[in-house]
């Protein structure tokens, strides 16, 4: 059986992802409404997983490989995985053995290292729960021209996130990252115009902290991504206040709109929020499981087109970095452009140190 062509440097050199899509013999259209099931493909896309320390890895494997599952998504199959864990994060290293055993039940081959993985697959799910090694882990994936979904957090710093997206763009390799909260049904309805133009929004989510990552990167990303999904890009400054129990981050957009995120550190917290629109207000920020996100990942692997612009994802991480800087400055407003400028310089240095600057 002929395998689906991967979208790498060769496809980019030919002019566009649209050309690459045509090379898959028209097995699906380049467009399609968000949330619809991806088209089943004759040529099954072989998926490799880097990192088996998050429940996403096992959930994604089951939904892709188990045809008896009611939420099974056709078109891709996880065929190999390289376990990765972080010994200085207990919640990471403690999961690897059990999650490795779980994916093996679904016919996944366990390989020793990323190079061995890349020999066996067409596309990659970078699932390492720790964002710090993502840049170094994704370098060989990009070098091999394999489209890659990088799970949250895309990196352990804004600079590394910038470096990852820059490297993928330079090499013409499709890359996509998002929280599953982006694809909650109520959030997508508002983004699609259900209440008219959004004039403001506030979201709330759990926001457990992890000492190895900037405060909001680890878990606050969920509520922040919901906020940006309905507000869109354009945040220019960020102010953060905090207590032992929560963080409150307020963003000012370039058109005068205000979007706020509340991250709850202690006790139960919902995934929720409210968007204010020209026509009405509406609930946003729901968590609808992993299925909606995985639908988008499969469509991304099939088309080579990310459903989220790189600039929007990077602004989400700049918002969170600016929130940390505001905290350091005692709650003073911090310009998003300033933290991005600093991160751009640090990304250049990081890529140079890793021998990746062109």
What is the SS3 assignment for the chain? CCCCCCCCHHHHHCCCHHHHHHCCCCCCCCCCCCCCCCCCCCCCEEEEEECCCCHHHHHHHHHHHCCCCCCCCCCEEEEEEECCCCCCCHHHHCCHHHHHHHHHCCCCEECCCHHHHHCCCCEEEECCCCCCCHHHHHHHHHHCCCCEEECCCCCCCHHHHHHHHHHHHHHCCCEECCCHHHHCHHHHHHHCCECECEEEEEEEEECCCCCCCCCCCCCCHHHHHHHHHHHCCCEEEEEEEECCCEEEEEEEECCCCEEEEEEECCCCCCCEEEEEECCCEEECCCCCCCHHHHHHHHHHHHHCCCCCCHHHHHHHHHHHHHHHHHHHCCCCCEEHHHHHHHHHHHHHHHHHHCCCCC
Q: What does the pLDDT average to over 172-194? A: 98
Contact 261, 322 (CB under 8 A): no
If one compares 21 and 345, the residue with the highest pLDDT of the two is 345
The pLDDT of residue 270 is: 93
Closest CA relative to residue 120, chosen from 97, 146, 100 = 146
Per-residue pLDDT tens digits for 88-103: 888 778 889 999 999 9
Report d(CA 175, CA 185) in Å as an integer. Answer: 23
Q: Same CATH fold, 181-288+316-347 and 9-180+291-307?
A: no
On the question of pLDDT at 18 being above 80, the answer is no
Task: Read off φ and ψ for residue 124, nearest 5 degrees.
Answer: -135, 135
The pLDDT of residue 343 is: 98
Confidence of residue 36 (pLDDT cuts 50, 70, 90): low
Q: What does the pLDDT average to over 51-70? A: 96
Confidence of residue 292 (pLDDT cuts 50, 70, 90): very high
Q: Give me the sign of the Cα torsion angle 297, 57, 124, 227.
A: positive
Which residues, 6 or more positions from 180, have their beta carbon under 8 angstroms from its beta carbon? Answer: 222, 287, 288, 289, 290, 292, 293
Which residues, 6 or more positions from 146, have their beta carbon under 8 angstroms from its beta carbon? Answer: 6, 8, 48, 118, 121, 122, 123, 124, 173
283: β partners: 274
Residue 300 class from Cβ within 10 Å (0-12 exposed, 13-18 middle, 19+ buried)?
A: buried
If one compares 9 and 191, the residue with the highest pLDDT of the two is 191
Contact 28, 39 (CB under 8 A): yes
On the question of pLDDT at 234 being above 90, the answer is yes
The pLDDT of residue 142 is: 98
On the question of pLDDT at 81 being above 90, the answer is yes
On the question of pLDDT at 121 being above 50, the answer is yes
On the question of pLDDT at 358 being above 80, the answer is no
Contact 38, 73 (CB under 8 A): yes
Task: Name which CATH class applies to 181-288+316-347.
Answer: alpha beta
Domain 9-180+291-307: CATH architecture, name and number where available: 3-Layer(aba) Sandwich (3.40)
Contact 299, 24 (CB under 8 A): no
Residue at token pair 């053995």: 97
Confidence of residue 268 (pLDDT cuts 50, 70, 90): confident
Which residues, 6 or more positions from 33, have their beta carbon under 8 angstroms from its beta carbon? Answer: none
pTM metric for this prediction: 0.87
Lowest mean pLDDT among 20-24, 37-41, 70-74: 20-24
Domain ranges within the chain, ordered by starting residue: 9-180+291-307, 181-288+316-347
If one compares 206 and 8, the residue with the highest pLDDT of the two is 206
Task: Read off φ and ψ for residue 13, nearest 5 degrees.
Answer: -65, -25
């Amino acid at each position: 059986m002929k395998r689906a062509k991967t979208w790498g440097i060769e496809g980019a050199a030919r002019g566009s992802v649209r050309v690459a899509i045509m090379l898959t013999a028209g097995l699906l259209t380049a467009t399609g409404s968000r949330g619809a099931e991806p088209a089943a493909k004759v040529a099954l896309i072989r998926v490799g997983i880097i990192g088996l320390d998050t429940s996403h890895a096992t959930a994604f494997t089951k939904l892709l490989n188990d045809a008896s599952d009611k939420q099974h998504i056709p078109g891709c199959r996880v065929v190999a995985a390289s376990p990765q864990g972080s010994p200085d994060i207990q919640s990471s290293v403690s999961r690897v053995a059990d999650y490795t055993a779980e994916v093996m039940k679904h016919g996944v081959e366990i390989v020793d290292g990323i190079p061995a993985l890349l020999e066996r697959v067409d596309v990659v799910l970078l699932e390492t729960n720790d964002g710090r090694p993502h840049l170094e882990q994704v370098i060989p994936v990009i070098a091999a021209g394999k489209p890659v979904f990088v799970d949250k957090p895309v990196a352990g710093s804004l600079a590394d996130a910038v470096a990852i997206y820059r490297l993928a763009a330079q090499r013409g390799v499709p890359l996509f990252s998002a929280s599953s909260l982006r694809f909650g049904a109520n959030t997508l309805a508002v983004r699609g115009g259900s209440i008219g133009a959004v004039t403001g929004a506030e979201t709330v989510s759990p926001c457990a902290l992890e000492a190895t990552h900037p405060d909001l990167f680890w878990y606050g990303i969920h509520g922040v991504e919901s906020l940006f999904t309905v507000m869109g890009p354009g945040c220019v400054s960020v102010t953060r206040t905090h207590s032992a129990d929560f963080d409150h981050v307020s963003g000012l957009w370039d058109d005068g709109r205000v979007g706020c995120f509340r991250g709850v550190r202690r006790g139960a917290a919902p995934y929720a929020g409210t968007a204010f629109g020209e026509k009405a207000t509406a609930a946003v920020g729901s968590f609808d499981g992993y299925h909606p996100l995985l639908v988008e990942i499969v469509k991304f692997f099939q088309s080579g087109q990310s459903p989220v612009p790189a600039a929007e994802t990077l602004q989400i991480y700049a918002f969170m970095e600016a929130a940390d800087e505001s905290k350091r400055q005692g709650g003073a407003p911090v310009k998003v452009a300033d933290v991005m400028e600093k991160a751009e310089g640090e990304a250049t240095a990081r890529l140079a140190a890793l021998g990746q600057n062109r």
